[in-house]
A and B are shown apart, each in its own frame.
Chain A
Amino acid sequence: MSSDLDVFVGNTTLIDEEVYRLWLDGHSVAEAVARRLRGGVLEREGTSVAVLQSDTRDHYRTFQMLERLLHAPPRLLQQLLFQIPPERQALLVQRYYAFDEALARELLGKKLSKGTKKELDEVSARTGVGIRSCRRQFDNFKRVFKAVEELRGPLAENIQQLFLLPPALARDYAAIVFFANSRFETGKRRLQFLSFGDFAACAQSMMAHWSQGALAPEAAEPDGDLPKSFLQDLKELKVLVSDKDLLDQHKRDTSGMGVPVLGGPGFGGSLGGGVPALSRALVNVGGKLTHARDVRDFFVDLVEKVIEPCRSDKWSPGDLRLFLTHYTAAPRNLPGFRHQALWERYMAAISACLLRMYHD
């Protein structure tokens, strides 16, 4: 006696968190049943495998029907088909949009295109995330990206509004969109020590300090793009390295103020020669940002030209912080330097990024 048709529909839609997890992870019904069996449901509830199968199928069907609505979470709130208590709706959305950081790390800065989607097999193998789950998460990234690509205003807030995500998750998505938009290179070997969290934090500080929304909320350009005028202005900072006087002055100021404090072990030796090099690197990174190709290398440059030298000089994170603080503040005393505000806006994000990235 085989059951051809077997459905259960509640007036309030039943959501089993465990089955939802299994579904999100991309398991087939059979796999899900096997996993539930291993979880010991049978012994706990004294039921049969057939019951478990029927239950799993019911849930899977429900989730499949819900998936369409999950693609536009505000619709989930408005729809009449499933009666789901608000906190359950929130849970559904949150879990659906939650992602594996390992996967997100792999995809950071990549173009969210069909080509990338085809490479997901490898990504799946590298990260240990199921391929179906990879595809779903990739589609989530792409969907969010498409939805906010053209929108004005703060990226994270837009995402939060359109997808009803909790603030932290929305900020992570904002980072993903930001990276995808500027196509920052993150896959290089020397960047492997950086986690998704590091990049997300960098993206957040960059958006916070550099994007137009940060200065004027009614800005014309989407938050995901770095504002052109700002990047253009950054060129002006080159004066700090090109003008010999200014460079010297800057160096003096920094070390002058720094010496009493930066006297720690391993700090002094190379500082004399280091500061001009660091200074040049820091300013040049900014100056290059007008070219899309150079934008991609932003993080590579930071690591190569700032972090690695500092590391080889055995600076502690505290040392770096001190240096950056003083380095940022120093031009205030430079005569004839007219870009103080721009400089500080630039350095605020750079400092935040460097500090976050400065670890093993």
Chain B
Amino acid sequence: MPGKLKVKIVAGRHLPVMDRASDLTDAFVEVKFGNTTFKTDVYPKSLNPQWNSEWFKFEVDDEELQDEPLQITVLDHDTYSANDAIGKVYIDIDPLLYSEAATVISGWFPIYDTIHGIRGEINVVVKVDLFNDLNRFRQSSCGVKFFCTTSIPKCYRAVVIHGFVEELVVNEDPEYQWIDRIRTPRASNEARQRLISLMSGELQRKIGLKVLEMRGNAVVGYLQCFDLEGESGLVVRAIGTACTLDKLSNTSAFLPACNSPSKEMKEIPFNEDPNPNTYSSGPSTPLKNQTYSFSPSKSYSRQSSSSDTDLSLTPKTGMGSGSAGKEGGPFKTLLRQQTQSALEQREFPFFTLTTFPPGFLLHVGGVVSARSVKLLDRIHNPDEPETRDAWWAEIRQEIKSHAKALGCHAVVGYSESTSICEEVCILSASGTAAVLNPRFLQDGTMEGCLEQRIEEASPPGCGFCHIPYDELNMPFPAHLTYCYNCRKQKVPDVLFTTIDLPVEAIVVGKGCLIQARLCRLKKKAQAEANATSISNLLPFMEYEVHTQLMNKLKLRGMNALFGLRIQITVGENMLMGLASATGVYLAALPTPGGIQIAGKTPNDGTYEQHISHMQKKINDTIAKNKELYEINPPELPEEIIGSPIPEPRQRSRLLRSQSESSDEVTELDLSHGKKDAFVLEIDDTDAMEDVHSLLTDVPPPSGFYSCNTEIMPGINNWTPEIQMFTAVRVSRLSNINPTNQTLNKNFNDLCENLLKSLYFKLRSMVPCCLCHVNFTVALPEDELVQIAVTAVAITYDKNQALQANKAPTEKSQQRASTDNEEQLQFPLELSSDPLSSQPFSPAKEALEGASSHTGIPAAQRATSVDYSSFADRCNSWIELIKLKAQTIRRGSIKTTTSLEKASPLAEGYLRHRSVPSGTNSTVSVVKMTPLSFLPGAKITKYLGIINMFFIRETTSLREEGGVSGFLHAFIAEVFAMVRAHVAALGGNAVVSYIMKQCVFMENPNKNQAQCLINVSGDAVIFVRESELEVLPAPPPAAAAQPAGSAGDVTT
């Protein structure tokens, strides 16, 4: 009996009137956990009942504790008829299951009803007494911490990053069960909410088990998603990065985790004979970064590499970095091989993290992605989710091979998504191929000299740009130059990644949000024919999206994309592609050349004039953008560059000078020999449209910047005011005979208008930056397009010059960097793997072969049990101790101790203020942000993951203000419920907040609508940096103030 859950129902307030006659309510509460239910007494005739119940105690297994939500139902007692439900509160008690998080959940929760929305509030106190049992073969994984944050959480240090964990569970969707025909919408919605709550609990527990097997204690970058497959069922899946984290205040904790050869993760069976119904979209993403022309006849520009057999699997996205082999010397090659082999043993060397400690990323190869189109079939047995597992395994395998083709052994910034329409499902995965730091893979003797070498080889700030693949044997034709920063290694001309901009990267000017938008019509079709046509369309879409991104990047005079996210959404009669990324100018990469337009018929005079007019416009735009984003790379003397390749900067300079006399453009065009100029050839009206659409992107109004990454490149003087928001738009594409062009334009306008309206809404915050702008596109019905945006606006100080303002920000940056410094001290779990795998005895191999039924080559997998490597184990222990020594040498301990001093106080202080008491009338402020940090504040404690799923339905749509009124209220309610849960945990903010799903369906004829929303994030306690300094002498006066006054004005 490992746990006792205790619940107390204190009071209610603002209950709805349930008895029309008396205008009052006779309320009581049912508290349910698992199969046990308790009831409070009826509190008669009151809208503000005071139950003050006893403690209801549930004695349960910890497995149950993890899976089940606590379910609180408020009812109105009725003597003569059935009791009416007022509403429910689901409380996820997971945060109470690990010691460092919350100890009690206590506060006012909105009482939620899926038909009526929030109906009053209830005050509840929840506690858990856990009895540890270490002995049994556990099915629970209590104690494993989960974080949505895609970096090492701020108050932790990564001891080991173990790697990828994934799991999925399936079930029948209650909405599609036969019983749904006879039960009320409310009952059906509640069944769904409860099931999903249960499933995510189960999923989390299973992932936790995997983490424990890997000897980790936490999952970072945890992303859980729902696939509503309709008739065929409900899939809940999650991915994350298993880590062993160490709280920064107790560095002495010594975890012997290093030596665990990652026990075999759940073996994913490979379907040798794929389901005949499934279609794999060709050879995945033929993303290309090359220049190309639209007419083959005139293709003097670099020809796009149409998939040669060998390359067909490689994502041509590859904008590589750092030619490794030569300069690194034999040592490095050796290193690389070892890291590689170590990572290869792992089934999937993937990391869901997007931000890493400096120096962790050695090289970045480029974006790798894979998509596959599948036909959904009914999930017959929920206990055997093999099909779905196999689908994902296939895609992951593909990603892995793409990364390998780019000379990379790992994939970072990895994510997965789906788009479902009827029975067709597109599975997508993407990430960034990378080479990780092999520093910790070596035993002591080599470390010293190697480290030197590596540092020599890859100077900070540009190392990650250097190509990882072999220059002579490139996976695709790319245009290499010597790095503009160190002049030693080769860099590509552009770099696309899915990760955040590394902290150490040297950036010129500011960044900006870049989006590529695309619609493609498709015939309505059934089943297989439908899947085939989608499969056929996908490569073209990816190609076009990529072209658009490249054009827009060049138009802004930038040379790298971060946080790239390409979404392909499938609808009944069209496909939509939306790619978002943050463009920056990396100092290490060459200046991008301009865009040149070439006409198809050079002898036509008016046409020519038109072309040159366009050219001028483009050149002007580039010049304007360079000014806007402050892109003025330092001029370097020519001789230092010593690049064999024609100077691109020169070209751009020329271009600018040419802009006045348009006639010369064509001439200049020729003179450059087109070797590396980016040429757009206009050979038909389509191409013309494309060029036009390039120019329609309006830059944000002055005072605004936007990006979709965590931090805005080029701005670091944030002020603490933040405003997180969600905006949703559904538009009808009202064309009778839509063409790709009109659709593109409509879609483009829709996105641009949405952005414009965001800028207008937030105008009072200027100067500010929209960070983490996250667009999600859905096609709910035939002609409907739904776009949901979640982002945060953060103000920054414009007047303080960057130099002058260093003082306040530097401190935080320093702190951040020291934190990072510490985080850097972790060994990859790999550290032990190569050692244990080196002495591969034939006997063991045989054993391995015998035990594996899956057909995965034994060499690729981590050894499951390793008896032979006692010596190696010793080695790695020694290594670990060395590491500790190094940590101390570096002086990072100092920061640690200072933190130790500050944080408990800070917590106590905050705790005291934000205690949500029943009588406290002011509501404590809870900030929400999609970022992992709060500007000007320090996160002192992570309280647990927030993962909530809500359904709202109405049968009186008009009365509730139509679709907009309905959804507006629902989103506000979701925010309110998230805030209430965080406040009840004792927190004052949610970081890494994300709205993962917003499914909206309407039936205006029936006056009905339904919406499902799924959100998640990390509940935290933060303290203002200014307060932190005052804290050592705790101010009693301030502590007595209500929390509301302390949290600043916003969010």
Which of these binds chain A: B382-390, B680-688, B723-731, B931-939?
A: B723-731
With A9-B972, A78-B921 known as contacts, the answer to whether A85 contacts B1050 (CB < 8 A) is yes
Which of these binds chain B: A56-64, A215-223, A256-264, A334-342?
A: A56-64
When distances are taken between beta carbons in the complex, the residues of chain B under 8 Å from A77 are 921-923
Least Cβ–Cβ distance between A279 and chain B, in angstroms: 53
B968 at the binding interface (Cβ < 8 Å): yes
Contact A9 B110 (CB under 8 A): no
- In the docked arrangement, what's the CA distance between A109 and B566, Å? 68
Which residues 677-719 of B sit at the A interface, judged by CB distance below 8 A?
A: 701
A119 at the binding interface (Cβ < 8 Å): no
Contact among B723, B758, B760, B923 for A12, CB-based, below 8 A: B723
Contact B972 A2 (CB under 8 A): no
When distances are taken between beta carbons in the complex, the residues of chain A under 8 Å from B110 are 80-81
When distances are taken between beta carbons in the complex, the residues of chain A under 8 Å from B108 are 80
Contact B965 A11 (CB under 8 A): no
Least Cβ–Cβ distance between B788 and chain A, in angstroms: 10
- In the docked arrangement, what's the CA distance between A12 and B726, Å? 11
For B965, the closest partner residue in chain A by CB is A61
With A2-B734, A45-B760 known as contacts, the answer to whether A80 contacts B725 (CB < 8 A) is no
Which of these binds chain B: A47-55, A98-106, A238-246?
A: A47-55
B613 at the binding interface (Cβ < 8 Å): no
B975 at the binding interface (Cβ < 8 Å): yes
With A7-B971, A61-B964 known as contacts, the answer to whether A78 contacts B733 (CB < 8 A) is no
Residues 1023-1051 of chain B, each 1 if its beta carbon lies under 8 Å from chain A, else 0: 00000000000000000000011000111
When distances are taken between beta carbons in the complex, the residues of chain A under 8 Å from B921 are 74, 77-78
Contact B968 A10 (CB under 8 A): no
- In the docked arrangement, what's the CA distance between A8 and B921, Å? 28
Contact among B725, B922, B963, B1049 for A10, CB-based, below 8 A: B725
- In the docked arrangement, what's the CA distance between A9 and B761, Å? 10
Contact B971 A78 (CB under 8 A): no
Contact A80 B928 (CB under 8 A): no
Contact A5 B923 (CB under 8 A): no
Count residues of B near A (Cβ-Cβ below 8 Å).
Answer: 59
- In the docked arrangement, what's the CA distance between A103 and B172, Å? 62
With A7-B727, A11-B927 known as contacts, the answer to whether A83 contacts B973 (CB < 8 A) is no
- In the docked arrangement, what's the CA distance between A7 and B725, Å? 10
Contact among B701, B971, B975 for A46, CB-based, below 8 A: B701
When distances are taken between beta carbons in the complex, the residues of chain A under 8 Å from B923 are 77-80, 83
B763 at the binding interface (Cβ < 8 Å): yes
Contact A50 B753 (CB under 8 A): yes
A322 at the binding interface (Cβ < 8 Å): no
With A80-B923, A81-B110, A83-B1051 known as contacts, the answer to whether A6 contacts B729 (CB < 8 A) is yes
With A61-B961, A74-B921, A80-B121 known as contacts, the answer to whether A3 contacts B761 (CB < 8 A) is no
Contact among B746, B749, B925 for A83, CB-based, below 8 A: B925
- In the docked arrangement, what's the CA distance between A124 and B121, Å? 40
Contact A7 B14 (CB under 8 A): no
- In the docked arrangement, what's the CA distance between A57 and B731, Å? 16
Contact A48 B728 (CB under 8 A): no
B926 at the binding interface (Cβ < 8 Å): yes
With A4-B784, A8-B757, A51-B757 known as contacts, the answer to whether A81 contacts B971 (CB < 8 A) is no
B945 at the binding interface (Cβ < 8 Å): no
Contact among A5, A58, A65, A83 for B963, CB-based, below 8 A: A5
When distances are taken between beta carbons in the complex, the residues of chain B under 8 Å from A6 are 728-730, 964
- In the docked arrangement, what's the CA distance between A9 and B727, Å? 6
When distances are taken between beta carbons in the complex, the residues of chain A under 8 Å from B922 are 77, 86
When distances are taken between beta carbons in the complex, the residues of chain B under 8 Å from A13 are 972
For B925, the closest partner residue in chain A by CB is A83
A82 at the binding interface (Cβ < 8 Å): yes
Contact B723 A11 (CB under 8 A): yes
Contact A5 B725 (CB under 8 A): no
Contact B723 A1 (CB under 8 A): no
Q: Looking at B728, B757, B786, B1049, which has the most chain A CB atoms within 10 Å of its CB? A: B757
With A7-B727, A8-B727, A83-B926 known as contacts, the answer to whether A64 contacts B753 (CB < 8 A) is no
- In the docked arrangement, what's the CA distance between A54 and B1000, Å? 19
When distances are taken between beta carbons in the complex, the residues of chain B under 8 Å from A64 are 961, 965
Contact among A46, A52, A65, A75 for B14, CB-based, below 8 A: A75
B980 at the binding interface (Cβ < 8 Å): yes
Contact B728 A1 (CB under 8 A): no
B979 at the binding interface (Cβ < 8 Å): yes
Contact A2 B14 (CB under 8 A): no
With A4-B731, A47-B760, A51-B757 known as contacts, the answer to whether A83 contacts B968 (CB < 8 A) is no
When distances are taken between beta carbons in the complex, the residues of chain A under 8 Å from B967 are 5, 7
Least Cβ–Cβ distance between B161 and chain A, in angstroms: 32
Contact B968 A7 (CB under 8 A): yes
A329 at the binding interface (Cβ < 8 Å): no
When distances are taken between beta carbons in the complex, the residues of chain B under 8 Å from A52 are 760
Contact B1045 A9 (CB under 8 A): no
Which residues 948-1004 of B sit at the A interface, judged by CB distance below 8 A?
A: 961, 963-965, 967-969, 971-973, 975-976, 979-980, 1000
Provide a sorted-by-A list of 20 A–B residue pairs whose CB atoms are within 8 angstroms: A1-B733, A1-B750, A5-B730, A5-B963, A6-B964, A7-B727, A7-B728, A7-B971, A8-B761, A9-B725, A9-B968, A9-B972, A11-B975, A45-B701, A51-B760, A65-B969, A78-B121, A80-B118, A80-B121, A80-B923
> Which residues on A are within 8 Å of B, measured CB to CB?
1-14, 45-48, 50-52, 54-55, 57-58, 61-62, 64-65, 74-75, 77-83, 85-86
For the complex of A and B, the 9 pairs showing the least CB-CB separation, nearest first, are A5-B730, A10-B725, A9-B971, A7-B968, A5-B963, A8-B727, A11-B724, A11-B1051, A12-B1050
Contacts A50-B753, A75-B14, A81-B110 known; 16 new A-B pairs at CB < 8 A: A5-B1000, A6-B730, A7-B729, A8-B726, A8-B761, A9-B727, A9-B975, A10-B724, A10-B725, A45-B701, A55-B761, A61-B964, A62-B968, A74-B921, A86-B922, A86-B1044
